[in-house]
Structure 1
Amino acid sequence: MAGRVCVPKRSTYRRRLGLSCALAGLLVLSACTPAVIPAGETLSIPVDSRVITQLGGNPTMAPELTFLGGVELSSSEPLFGAFSSIRFLDDQRFLGVFDTGYWIEGQIRRDAEGRLAGIEAVKLAPLLDASGRESPSKFHVDAESLAVDGDRAFVGFEQRHRVVSYSPLSDLGKAVPSEPLAFPFDLDVLRSNGGLESLVIAEKDGPLGGALVAISEKSFDGDGNIYAAILGGPLAGEFRVRPRDDFDITDATFLPNGDLLLLERRFTIARGVGMRLRRVDGDSIRPDALLDGEILFEANYRSQIDNMEGIDAIPEPDGSVRLIVVSDDNHSILQRTLMLEFRLSAPQS
């Protein structure tokens, strides 16, 4: 039907199809014409949801981690999809970026038991250039990472590698970028499709003094380690993250105790798609460090996962943390936009 995206229902066949992402990004839905959002405006869109109650697939999960549920999201608006990063402004409202050059804002909806039921009040807006215009080329607006600090947001782009800040967030349709931030290494070392995939802001009263931490996806130095940097604060400088088991870093979030949680993805023809969470000791983040950490979660295509690219943490009053993870569907009929939720128990004293 003209103007609509047809999202196929998940079937047993698809759940077992190890090569479900082999053509990701190749089968793009091009028959629909997306809405045009004029610069300075936002577009309200409907988003449908299908509840996911079981993760399935027997994933490896640390005892302190629990799967709470999730939703599969779809919309009749073709611009919807390609979720790259998400940040929660409170326990309901979120802001995110699509790697197709759009903001998304909205809020989560829960059922009577407090489980994810969908999202609502969803609006899209184009990521503008410094002159307030929308870019005609995805090359310039391939947004992959996001961090929010008050009424401004830092966005990391790949292909044309840079990190800029946007404001005001109170009016996304008019938010314009700053000049790119300076880095302690030449951004030309980053791979075209493996750039700044994670941006996170450290606690202001912690050792990093509220600095912005940037981590690349799969850009390696001469020793095979991943480029990363601390931008600003008392410990500004570059560091590295040790890659493990062919997983790529797709996002990160700080936990209330200062530890850093990495979201990682793997895709191979032989193994299909995989998702992993790795916790890094926050005290180890400093210039010239090589970071590694313990694996809290790992799942493959047999579980209800997809191309997981965004994560954020919502602290709870009891000291636990709700982790919400979203996927990038690449606007492919073989992939889905998922929002999954986990609870990470408070550390034992």
Structure 2
Amino acid sequence: MLGRGLLALLLLASTGSAWAASNGETLPIRSRQISSFAVGSSATRFGALEFVGGLEMTSANSLFGAVSAIRFRPDGTSFIAIMDTGHWLEGAVTRDAAGRLSGLTDLTATPMADRNGDVGLAKWKVDSEGLALRSGQVVVSYEQAHRIDIYPNPGFAASTPIGSLALPFPIKELRNNGGIETIAVAPKDGPLAGATIAVAERSVDKADNLLAGILDGPQRGAFAIVRKDPYAVTDGAFLPNGDLLLLERRFSFGSGLGMQIRRIAGDTIKPGAVVDGEVIFEADMRHQIDNMEGLDVVVRPDGEVRVIVVSDDNHSILERNLMLEFRLTTALTQ
């Protein structure tokens, strides 16, 4: 006969798995294809990127929106994303006959649970911003209540965190609303040998450089990234050769929205280093952008590298949910 304590634990575990499965919600989605990136122009080449296509997405379900990060699975079609309202978002992209993005399918949203299995928490407790996939795990960074939590993969949407990653610098250095915005896993055969890195959105050191860190592996330690004011880092992903692409966003009432992508050589990322890189892409209100928050790198079966960026509409009628796809020029993939 099971002891009462053990029975209670088993019941808690079973209900803890059930809440997430039962709370997963299918979201209806409507997508409008974006065929031109520059407004009023048929140009396709922008810096080191070539525009492939994009989507503007809406849903009758008010839950959809506020996407802060996205990671594609190895098939290059299905994805895991997070919303900064504390929700997992899973789905897949569809393509038309020309291979351009045409829509989303099988879209579901599930509330994230904290370590106690609680869901529906205040936003400051589950302000999920950064996302990374690594072997058997999903890693998520949260700001305001700063932390980096680990979830099992598969099973992340039905699980509480199973662990955490410590930062290689004092957590008190992070600003309340400018914490760890980027989590990325380097390729195993690159300079960082599969390490996980983190980059702050706006938190800086005494030299006004952005706080960053290598979170695991033999090179674990803090480094810094040159800040490019007025831009703030919103996401990043590694290229196959180990270089890091950083997505950065700016906003002012005078100039409106802008975005850029910076490429940082992977072999410069080391403990104690202050790194910078070439801006390979820029866009502003003359282009089909919004509050661009998420970036991922997808390698196609033929080796071609695609860069996909998504926006966070902040659940505002003044902003849009966008997914934009670009082809990376060959020179940068070598």
TM-score where L is the length of structure 2: 0.89
The alpha-carbon deviation at position 135 of structure 1 amounts to: 4.1
CA pair 234-185 structure 1, distance change in 2 beyond 3 A: same
For residue 318 of structure 1, report the CA deviation from its aligned partner: 4.0
CA contact (8 A) 2:263 2:279 kept: yes
* Sequence identity percentage: 47
Residue-by-residue CA offset, 1:155-190 (whole Å, 9 max, x unaligned): 0000011101012x3334412113432211111111
- From 6, 28, 31, the equivalent of 1:49 is 31
1:254 partnered with 2:238:
yes
Shift of 1:234: 1.5
Residue 222 of structure 1 and its aligned partner are, at CA, apart by 1.0
Could you say which residue in structure 2 is the equivalent of 1:6?
Answer: none
Within 5 Å, which residues of 2 pair with 1:266-281?
266-281=250-265
Distance 2:257 2:51 in 1: 19
8 Å CA contact retained: 1:108, 1:116? yes
Contact 1:158 1:196 in 2 (8 A): yes
Matches within 5 A, 1:122-141: 122-141=107-126
Q: 1:60 to 1:196 in 2, by over 3 A?
A: farther
Paired with 2:273 and 2:211, the residues of 1 have a C-alpha distance of 11
Paired position in structure 2 for 1:113: 98
Q: Which amino acid aligns with 1:54?
A: S
Scaled by the length of structure 1, the TM-score of the pair is 0.85
Q: Find the residue that maps to 1:170 and give its secondary structure.
A: coil
Q: Tell me if 1:154 matches 2:139.
A: yes
Equivalenced residue count is 312
1:245 deviates by 3.8
Partners of 1:161 and 1:245 in 2: CA distance:
23
Q: Which has the higher helix share?
A: 2
Q: Taking CA–CA contacts closer than 8 Å with sequence separation of 6 or more, which of the two structures ends up with the larger relative contact order?
A: 1
After superposition, the Cα gap between the structure-2 partners of 1:63 and 1:135, relative to the gap in structure 1 and judged at 3 Å, is: closer
Q: Using the alignment, how far apart are the partners of 1:120 and 1:224 within structure 2?
A: 43
Q: How does 1:110-259 map to 2 (within 5 A)?
A: 110-167=95-152, 169-259=153-243
Report the RMSD for the aligned CA atoms in angstroms: 1.8
- Measured after TM superposition, the shift of residue 230 of structure 1 is 0.1
* Match of residue 61 from structure 2: 77
CA–CA distance in structure 1, aligned partners of residues 241 and 69 of structure 2: 22
Query: Residue 87 of structure 2 is aligned with which of 90, 94, 102?
Result: 102
Unmatched runs of 5 consecutive residues or more in structure 2:
1-17
* Distance of aligned partners of 1:173 and 1:147 in 2 relative to their CA distance in 1, 3 Å threshold: closer
User: In 2, distance between residues paired with 1:244 and 1:60?
Assistant: 26
- 2:304 aligned to 300, 320, 325, which one? 320
Gapped regions of structure 1 (runs ≥ 5): 1-36
